[in-house]
């Protein structure tokens, strides 16, 4: 059977099983290191064949979560299931997982094909079969003629692909990736995102991906879990996280956002009004929001438009500067007449830049209530 054929993840090993076998199921899992609560109690299900990412800042607990799944760490409390099987007492080398570390950890004095086949050799598979499977994976990662080279003779992107092939060689049900693209330059990272996504879809292996880079998570994932300070803030599709964040942390961490603070004066038919020092602004209400609450309104830079007719929320802005970013520019402005010099950012396309207001000038802009969201203070 070809090693790159989509894997059958329906089978289970002896032991306690969950009613419906997700690729990974975590039930009330927590992790403490002495007095430090690295992962607070959380439950999470990752589906078979899903590209699932954990997104969060350094120190939020995401790598600890990965090590709990792999078996490097034992949870302080809770249960972890892989492919429906309880992992309590199951050592790392007996789990249906493979892990790719940030450093890649290729063996420098082994050839590429020997690196790929290393895990197969440890499982007692003969050299002829190891070589055959390694060649299939070299074809899969588009390096068919690189089997006899050493890792030091490859580019950064090629080494990355070899590390992925080595992990896939043992046919894991779940591939765990710990910020594997962080050491690559921007262009190569963007290229590898597409390759990782393509490999994941062609093999059917569940990818559990750790990153602090929101663009990586949003570009590649079927779903993303956002973590902060050991807690899961929100789990959803990239579109859901970006357009309908459920917490203030998610609203500010995922993408850029303009923020206005004030008190909720009205809620009606899913729309709330926030009274701010800068004026009254309407946005989408969120569960738990009540009249009289202190809250914040979040609106993305691309949702604020210069002129263009009357909108729900009008702004008078003064341009301070433009940051040119290729296909678009970010306009940095302040609300005119605001005592706090409230900053507002707008995204302006390259085509519209020539007609944009000059630095120092004032202009009218606005945004729709449907493009803004109001969240209660946490």
Q: List the pLDDT tens digit at each of the 378 positions of the chain.
A: 344 434 333 333 333 444 357 999 999 999 999 989 999 999 999 999 999 999 999 999 999 999 999 999 999 999 999 999 999 999 988 899 998 887 778 889 999 999 999 888 878 888 889 999 999 989 888 889 999 999 999 988 888 889 888 888 888 999 999 988 877 777 878 888 888 888 889 889 999 999 999 999 999 999 999 999 999 999 999 999 999 999 999 999 999 999 999 999 999 999 999 999 888 999 999 999 999 999 999 999 999 998 766 578 998 899 999 999 888 899 999 987 665 678 999 999 887 887 888 898 988 999 999 999 999 998
Interior/surface letters 49-82, b for 16+ CB within 10 angstroms, e for the rest? bbbbbbbbeeebbbbbbbbbbbbebebeebbbbb
pLDDT at 1: 36
pLDDT at 206: 95
pLDDT at 86: 95
Question: pTM of the full predicted structure?
Answer: 0.86
For 68-72, which contacts have Cβ atoms below 8 Å and span 24 or more sequence positions? 68/26, 68/29, 68/31, 68/39, 69/24, 69/26, 69/97, 69/174, 69/176, 69/208, 70/95, 70/97, 70/99, 70/176, 71/95, 71/97
Q: Are 37 and 186 in contact (CB under 8 A)?
A: no
pLDDT at 308: 61
pLDDT at 310: 55
Q: What's the DSSP call for residue 151?
A: G
pLDDT at 352: 81
């Amino acid at each position: 059977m070809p090693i790159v054929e989509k894997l059958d993840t329906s089978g289970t090993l002896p032991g306690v099983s969950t009613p419906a076998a997700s690729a990974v199921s975590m039930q009330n899992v927590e992790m403490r290191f002495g007095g430090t609560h690295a992962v607070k109690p959380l439950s999470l299900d990752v589906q078979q064949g899903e590209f699932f990412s954990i997104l969060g800042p350094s120190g939020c607990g995401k790598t600890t979560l990965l090590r709990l799944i792999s078996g490097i760490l034992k949870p302080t409390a809770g249960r972890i299931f892989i492919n429906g099987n309880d992992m309590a007492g199951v050592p790392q080398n007996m789990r249906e997982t493979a892990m790719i570390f940030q450093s890649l950890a290729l063996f420098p004095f082994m050839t590429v094909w020997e690196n790929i086949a290393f895990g197969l050799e440890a499982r007692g598979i003969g050299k002829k079969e190891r070589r055959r499977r390694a060649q299939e994976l070299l074809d899969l990662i588009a390096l068919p003629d690189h089997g006899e080279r050493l890792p030091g003779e490859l580019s950064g992107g090629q080494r990355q692909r070899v590390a992925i092939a080595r992990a896939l060689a043992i046919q894991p049900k779940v591939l765990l990736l710990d910020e594997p693209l962080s050491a690559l330059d921007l262009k190569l990272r963007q290229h590898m995102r597409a390759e990782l996504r393509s490999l994941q879809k062609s093999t059917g292996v569940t990818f559990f991906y750790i990153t602090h880079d929101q663009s990586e998570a949003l570009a590649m994932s079927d779903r993303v879990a956002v973590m902060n300070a050991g807690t899961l803030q929100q789990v959803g599709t990239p579109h859901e996280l970006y357009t309908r964040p459920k917490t203030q942390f998610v609203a500010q961490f995922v993408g850029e956002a303009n923020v206005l603070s004030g008190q909720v004066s009205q809620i009606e038919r899913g729309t709330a009004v926030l009274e701010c020092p800068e004026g009254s602004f309407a946005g989408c209400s969120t569960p738990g929001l009540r009249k009289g609450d202190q809250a914040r309104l979040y609106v993305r830079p691309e949702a604020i438009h210069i002129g263009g007719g009357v909108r729900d929320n009008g702004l008078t802005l003064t341009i301070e500067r433009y940051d040119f970013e290729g296909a678009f520019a970010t306009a940095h402005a302040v609300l005119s007449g605001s005592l706090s010099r409230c900053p507002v950012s707008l995204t302006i396309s390259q085509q519209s830049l020539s007609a944009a207001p000059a630095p120092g000038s004032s202009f009218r802009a606005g945004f729709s209530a449907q493009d803004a969201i109001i969240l209660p203070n946490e």
